[in-house]
Structure 1
Amino acid sequence: MTSTDHAATFHQLHQHGLLRLANAWDAGSARLVESLGAKAIATTSAGVAWANGYADGSYLPVQRLIDTAASIARVIRVPLSVDFEDGYASDPATVADNVARVIDAGAIGINIEDGADSPDLLAAKIEHIKRMAAERGVDLFVNARTDVYLRGLASEDRRVAETLARAKRYRDAGADGFFVPGLADADEIRSVVAEAGLPVNIMSRPDLPSAQELEALGVRRLSAGAAISISAMDYVAGLAGSFLQGTDATGKTLDYGSINALFDR
């Protein structure tokens, strides 16, 4: 399947039903997730940073991220979206250049976030990214993330209104999706979905409605975020700790042969 086909497929996956993304952090985890039936692969910025020995939060050198994206694209046959944090720069033109490199690595989608920055800055980044992608003939899926809920950027009585104001700003700039991590209340989800004008992405958390309820509310994308990579690290810590204390370090589900076979194609 060509990159054009992957891009079209990824866009279509946001039109109906609920796209579940079990975020990966390297080629091995991506191939494993794909083998379990994933319709697409998305990365987690935290997991990718940790796998490369950096803290989360745009500390990872861009080239390391590009290399990770390329290594994932090499082993999967489904669309790839890359968590691009804030674009790894403040200047919109530089951000677009960075995204061009991740497109060259094989990605057909990105997440890009506002964080504590002005919504106008993210809108400018989106505009530059979409212009660059169009010039390359790539229908890049730009998932605009707002941290209104995650960072508490508005009071409880204002957070829906602030979130929707940012949705309009990012939609007008050319965003294809809208990611609101931290949003969990069913009534607030319903309001955001109804007014955002973009496919809405929610991040998994313990107090979230079930996947079936989210789909009924109109949510189009559910992301694991860093949860799976955190659980994997926690599991490795348990096994390694047991081994270092002189006990068995054997896993319960996968073995060497089954893991190695994932890459034998």
Structure 2
Amino acid sequence: MDTDTQRELAQTFQNRHTETTADPLVLPNSWDAASTIIYEAAGLEAVGTSSAGIAAALGVPDGEHLARDEMLAVVSRIAHSVGIPVSADIEAGYGDTPDDVAGTVRKTIDAGAVGINLEDGTDNSESPLMDTHRHSEKIRAARKTADEADLPLVINGRTDVFWRDVGNEADRIEHAIERANEYYDAGSDCLFIPGVTDAETIAALVDGLDGPLNVLGGPEVPPIPELNKLGVARVSVGSGPMRATLGYLREISTALNDEGTYHQMENAIPYSDLNALLTTSRNHHTE
């Protein structure tokens, strides 16, 4: 991907987050090139990678257990397989310091991504969220790195207040808003608060945030038209599609082993259709 093309994709992605009259940006999450190509063929505007999905596809649990370069190799393959913007889930930035995050962002840009997720969750059960100031410094480092690359990188500042059930339930809305707004001031373009599922909470977050809200969609979350009415700017789906795909594979496996039947594969994409999709992608996007 040449620099001009990447910059155009980044600007398109950035603009989509500032269109106040537009419907929410639906950002499905992929874990390999094939899943990304299918999203593009369905007409979706952009795609985000799933850290959990990529890790699982390589046989590793989520949570930066996969080496940074292994993850970014998949991001590069994804970004070069389609002609739509790709945002990369870089988890907590693969490092404890702003300099570490800056290095990760540089490599992520080199991989062809035009957006990132940067989360404040930790693996410490006694302190499940990173210090707000520390995470803000990571976001500032990411923004500075993108500016130096002259790329309008979309930073999705994520707080895991709800995802990790931090603190008293009654205080979570205020806590999440306070954290997310600090991340917005630090340079985030969008504010990701996964784990919220009810309309009342989502509406309160939209009202209290200084920037656009990204909600994690799923079976318990209001449908996208309702999220649109609530003022949500972006809807992603995380590892849901990957886990649903593996759930379907488990059903196929059970049918093969227990029944000796193949009926679970009736809804498979025809071989010729899949080959045509992949051939088109290879001819038009891969360099």
Mapping for residues 132-147 of structure 1, pairs under 5 Å:
132-147=145-160
Structure-1 separation of matches of 2:178 and 2:42: 38
Residue type of the partner of 2:145? M
Task: Note if 1:257 corresponds to 2:272.
Answer: yes
CA distance in 2, matches of 1:250, 1:229: 17
In the TM superposition, 1:123-162 aligns within 5 A as 123-162=136-175
Q: Following the alignment from structure 1 to structure 2, what is the Cα–Cα distance between the partners of residues 172 and 22?
A: 26
- Superposed displacement of residue 206, structure 1: 2.6
**Counterpart position of 1:198:** 211
Give the superposition deviation at 1:205.
Answer: 2.7
In structure 1, the residue corresponding to 2:214 is in which secondary structure?
strand
- Letter paired with 2:86: L
- Deviation per residue, 1:203-242 (Å, 9 max, x gap): 0133322211110111011111111100101111221332
TM-score scaled to structure 2, two decimals? 0.89
Q: Tell me if the contact between 1:24 and 1:30 (Cα under 8 Å) persists in the aligned partners.
A: yes
| CA deviation string 1:109-133 (max 9, x = no partner) | 0101001221222111000110011
SS at match of 1:77: coil
1:44-193 equivalences under 5 Å are: 44-115=50-121, 116-193=129-206
For residues 87-107 of structure 1, the C-alpha deviation after alignment (integer angstroms, 9 at most, x for no partner) is 111111111101110110100
- Following the alignment from structure 1 to structure 2, what is the Cα–Cα distance between the partners of residues 74 and 209? 33
- Asked whether the equivalents of residues 52 and 64 of structure 1 are also in contact (C-alpha less than 8 Å), the reply is no
What code does the residue aligned with 1:64 have?
E
Task: Count matched residues.
Answer: 265
Kindly report the root-mean-square deviation, in angstroms, between the aligned alpha carbons of the 2 structures. Answer: 1.4
Shift of 1:184: 1.9
- C-alpha displacement at 1:180, in angstroms? 0.5
Is contact 2:158-2:180 (8 Å) kept?
no
Structure 1 unmatched runs, 5+: none
Correspondence for 1:215: 228
SS in 2 for 1:254: coil
103-112 or 201-210, larger mean C-alpha shift: 201-210
Percentage of pairs with the same residue: 35
Structure 1 residue ranges, 4+ long, deviating more than 2 angstroms after superposition: 240-247
Distance (whole Å) between structure 1 residues aligned to residue 79 and residue 14 of structure 2 = 18
- CA distance in 1 between partners of 2:145 and 2:6 (Å): 16
* Partner residue, 1:40: 46
Aligned equivalents of 1:36 and 1:12: distance in 2?
21
Distance, in Å, in 2 between the alignment partners of 1:29 and 1:235 is: 15
